[in-house]
Structure 1
Amino acid sequence: MAVKIRFTPFPPAPRRRRVLFTIAHYYAASRDGKYGSTRASARDARRQALARTIASLHETVAQPQSLVHGPVHGFLAANDEDSTAVEVVVCTTGDDHLVDELDLPPGAFRHHRTRAEPRLLGYECHAVLRDAAAEHDWFCYLEDDIAIEDPLFFGKLDWFAGWAGPDAVLQPNRFETSENPPVRRLYIDGEPVSPGKVGFVPDRSEAPWIAAETLGRRMWFGRVVNAHSGCFFLTAGQMRAWAAKPDFLDRATSFVGPLESAATLHLLRHFRVYKPGRGNAAFLEVRHLHRRYLDTMLVFV
């Protein structure tokens, strides 16, 4: 039996944080597609992943959020001390996308159309971020199969930025999960067998490891060779500093390949890039919605 409950819109919470997300999305089926974005059999999965990526941003970090409160026969505002306003821009090229097939409410995202070369689409996201540099507090880039599931995600980023300084960037650990042993949760972006194979290795001699006490324990953060997470998150000051560099929008591809370079290369060029250490890997993490590693690339023997 449904319970009737009164819903009264909350007055706008003081906005402590404004976040702009850009998502690079491409899909064009081909018979021999190497990536999920080009495999005909992956169409439904790609559409679902993009929808989940967008929805996770609104569901996890955006306001309004509520608490059912019986004494008033309605709701009370929840998490309003950490309120966040979210804007999502999906960047595509030509007609090679699934944006028109998404079943999402109006206003969930803005569609930014380009004519970019598909493998360099991430750089169109960089341009969108640059053009909004005066309007937001955090500037974020996501591949189209990354979900944020931690409501404290930006609170942790705020904490790290205030503690580690403006030249330090914290990348999340990207994970996949499985219902079956031997591995339930796998962080998929470990260090490469040969550092030189990633194509660009920064000088990590300055502060290779840093640590701080938080949440009742000592947390470690390391500068790793494989800083890739399929995403990045920059403060307004970091975004402005990066956009002023001569190599901004140079469309370089020297870190693994063009897709990885759009997410990671310029962070490594201009910042001290950290990830949470192995012992506290879950401190900051994002879900990889396609279980490519657990389902297809790894065989446990």
Structure 2
Amino acid sequence: MRVLLTIPHYFNPQGSNAHGSLQTNPQPRIEGLTACLRSLYETFGTGQSYYAHDAEQSRVERQPANCYSRVELDVVICTTADFHLLDQLDQLRVPSALFRRESFSLEDPKWLGLGCHLVLKRQLGFYDYYGYFEDDLILRDGYFFQKLNWFNQHLGDEVVLQSNRFEVTQQGVPEKVYVDADFESISPLFADCPHDFSDKQRLSAQFLGQPLHFNRARNPHSGCFFLNARQMDYWTQQPHFMNFSRRFISGLETCATLGLMETFPVYKPAFENANFLEIQHRGDTLIQKWQEDNRFRYFSRRYSPRPPNPKSLG
């Protein structure tokens, strides 16, 4: 299986401190991107083996392992100007061969994800799966893409399955918390949002002898998306692909989520089987924000049809 993943990456130490990419201290961002990249290659890379005993030679040799779930992975990190930390990854032993860099000219870096969309479109026909992945996410499920393939084989390419995003508390006894609140994306706050679907609210299937349930995502955002080749091709043919005239919350959420909402019914595993498909958000910043304010202003910004007006992508 061939997979192309695109990662928008930005860091500006002179920023507002509102996001991790706008802090004065680069070290947490370096460590986050390092964890992101290492998790991908530790989970899907070809360097997986076990020690096998060769009785005839009276020695132990390494043999390839996990052949059935192996993924041929290519990673493209999208940046703008010199606002990045890629030249500092060597200090944490992340070889530059693990990724390729694409640079884009943008007025507002929050729309850097549109460069990722362009990279994905340019590579149509060469991969089985196409993905978008924020640079502070960690993926450690070796059967992640097999699960996506299983889902679409059973329920069709007309629907998309998003992963449940979680954080782990950093103090005391570790606790996993799914942090994308189950808010209603078709509430008055999002009256014009294209994710206004009312049919097939729940899908079910059997997996390993157990029933699994998938709910129409009331909050489709996961900071990432993954489409098979047929779905990616279909999306790029829609008039709203890379259309700058709409926005969902902010540029960050728009690039990660809006295109899916406009094109497909989006599902997530029901919370009773949330870990069927999940992804980790590094740290526990979202947990802390929810604890500080259970209304969390992240959802107070309305869906807006106003254009973001980015410069040309080049």
TM-based fold match above 0.5: yes
Q: CA deviation at 1:128?
A: 0.1
Give the Cα–Cα distance (whole angstroms) in 1 for the partners of residues 245 and 112 of structure 2: 12
Residue equivalent to 1:8: none
Which letter maps to 1:91? Answer: C
C-alpha change, 1:232 and 1:70, in structure 2 (3 Å) is: same
Unaligned residue ranges in structure 1 (runs of 5+): 1-16
Q: Does 1:78 align with 2:65?
A: yes
**1:112 is matched with which residue: 102, 105, 122?**
102
Task: Using the TM superposition, give the Cα deviation of residue 106 of structure 1 relative to its aligned residue in structure 2, in angstroms.
Answer: 3.6
Does the 8 A contact of 2:169 with 2:283 survive in 1? no
What SS is found at the alignment partner of 1:197?
helix
Letter in 1 for 2:13: A
C-alpha distance after superposition, 1:55-112 (max 9, x if no partner): 1111112223111223351112111122210000000011111111112124100011
Alignment match of 1:141 (pick from 114, 132, 157): 132
Q: Which residue of 2 aligns with 1:187?
A: 178
For residues 31-55 of structure 1, give each alpha carbon's deviation from its aligned partner in whole angstroms, at most 9, with x where no partner exists: 63211111213x1111111111111
Give me the TM-score of the superposition, normalised by structure 2.
0.85
One-letter code of the match for 2:169?
S
Shift of residue 201, structure 1, vs aligned partner: 5.2
CA, structure 1 residues 215+26, in 2 after alignment: closer, same or farther (shift >3 Å)? same
Task: Give, in whole Å, the separation in 2 of the partners of 1:118 and 1:60.
Answer: 29
Q: Secondary structure at the match of 1:192?
A: coil
How much does 1:257 deviate? Answer: 1.2
Equivalences for 1:54-203 in 2 at 5 Å? 54-71=37-54, 72-103=59-90, 104-116=94-106, 117-178=108-169, 180=171, 184-192=175-183, 195-198=187-190, 200=193, 202-203=195-196
- C-alpha separation in 2, matches of 1:274 and 1:49: 27
1:191 offset after TM fit, Å?
1.7
Cα separation, 1, equivalents of 2:216 and 2:6: 25
Q: Give the RMSD, CA atoms, in angstroms.
A: 2.0
TM (norm. structure 1) is: 0.89
Stretches of structure 2 lacking an aligned partner (at least 5 in a row) = 295-314
Aligned equivalents of 1:63, 1:190: Cα separation in 2: 36
2:299 maps to which residue? Answer: none
Matched, 1:48 2:31: yes
CA distance in 2, matches of 1:112, 1:52: 20
In the alignment, structure 1 residue 204 sits paired with structure 2 residue 197? yes
**For the residues of structure 2 that align with 1:83 and 1:141, how far apart are their CA atoms?**
19
Cα deviation for residue 297 of structure 1 reads: 4.5
Q: Counterparts of 2:289 and 2:28 in 1: how far apart (Å)?
A: 15
The one-character-per-residue Cα deviations of 1:125-151 (angstroms, maximum 9, x if unpaired) are 000000001110000001110111111
Structure 2 CA distance, aligned partners of 1:122 and 1:138?
Answer: 17
* Residue correspondence of structure 1 range 220-259 to structure 2 within 5 A: 220-259=213-252
Aligned residues: 284
1:182 Cα deviation from its structure 2 partner: 7.9
Q: Quote the Cα distance in structure 2 between the aligned partners of 1:196 and 1:155.
A: 37
Q: Helix, strand or coil for the counterpart of 2:28?
A: helix
CA contact (8 A) 2:163 2:268 kept: yes
1:48–1:19: structure 2 CA closer, same or farther, 3 Å change rule?
same
3-state SS in 2 of match to 1:298 = helix
* Distance in 2 between residues matched to 1:31 and 1:274, nearest whole Å: 35
Question: How far apart, CA to CA, are the structure 1 residues paired with 2:188 and 2:78?
Answer: 31
